[in-house]
Amino acid sequence: MGIKAAVLGPGNIGTDLLVKLQRSAAIETALMVGVYDDSPGLARARELGVETSSRGLDAVLERDDVALVFDATGARPHRESAPRLTAAGKVCVDLTPAALGPYVVPCVNLDEHLDAPDLNMVTCGGQATIPMVHAIDRVADVAYAEIVATISSRSAGPGTRQNIDEFTETTARGLERVGGADEGKAIIILNPAEPPILMRDTVFAQVRRPDAGAIETSVLEMLERMRRYVPGVRLRLCDVDGELVTVLLEVEGAGDFLPPYAGNLDVMTAAAAEVGERVAERLLAGRGAEATA
């Protein structure tokens, strides 16, 4: 049996994540929690055979068998729930931009934080672009990084819109703390075009040691690491012009629950599922060691 987990928040992100977690051999999704009985997300969870509750966080905290929680609510709710989850001994993968725990980007720094009680997934834009900034920084030393995340307005639900300020602040800090840039800036654009566009991310980096060959090799290597859990990410441009590096990315979603154009949400849920899988494997290994001691 896998590690029992709960998804907190039955919105678009939580529901897409739930579908992804159903494929995990290390995680048994035992509960999805919301606050409204008639939530479509809770209905979908029941269709998948997952127990549901509309009693919010309390329903998670009373389950001693649930060791892993995915928080897909919002920054403010997570700030209130995080201390209670930690006190209850539950590991939390935080998909909100609350930024209470260490910033985690699976292909960059997950191994460093597997024991953390609260792992923050930064933002969708951060998950897409921080790996590229890190790839550039490790060979060329990034002095300044600026990213522009352009997403379809149809893929930006109420949660995304309510957290836009947190998105820009958290992403910028992630470019610095995880990406390695001395200074970072993030911009998000909601594009109302029809048909909806795929997520597109532009990375601008000012570097101190420009080396076009080394930069391109590093970016391509990082792209392959990302594609192990986000297969829809594609590199459209990697250009080095003096000290300015420009990287253009496109992210197509897997279409698990959300439409393929919602790559901004898919990159977040795919990264969270990857983190949850690795955390669950570590917890299972710990239980195995205790059983043989």
Which residues lie below 8 Å from residue 267, measured CB to CB, with a gap of 6+?
124, 127, 128, 199, 230, 233, 251, 253
Q: Which of 92, 107, 124, 238 is catalytic?
A: 124
Query: Can you give the pLDDT at residue 159?
Result: 72
41 marked ligand binding residue? no
Q: Which residues, in sequence order, are CB contacts of 167 under 8 Å at separation 6+?
A: 97, 123, 124, 125, 160, 186, 188
What's the pLDDT score for residue 97?
84
107 in active site: no
Distance CA 261, CA 259 (A): 5
pLDDT of residue 70: 98
Question: How crowded is the C-beta side of 93, counted as CA atoms within 13 Å?
Answer: 29
Q: What SS3 state is found at 236?
A: strand
Structure tokens at 189: 């654009």
pLDDT in the model for residue 166: 84
| pLDDT reported for residue 40 | 95
Q: Is 264 annotated as a binding residue?
A: yes
Domains recognised in the chain with CATH numbers? 3-121+269-292 (3.40.50.720), 124-261 (3.30.360.10)
Residue 113 has what DSSP assignment? G
pLDDT of residue 293: 60
**163 assigned to a ligand binding site:** yes
CA distance 138 to 215: 9
pLDDT number for residue 160? 78
160 annotated ligand binder: yes
pLDDT average per 10 residues of sequence, the chain (293 residues)? 95 96 97 96 97 97 97 93 97 93 98 97 96 98 98 86 86 97 97 96 98 98 98 98 98 96 96 98 86 66
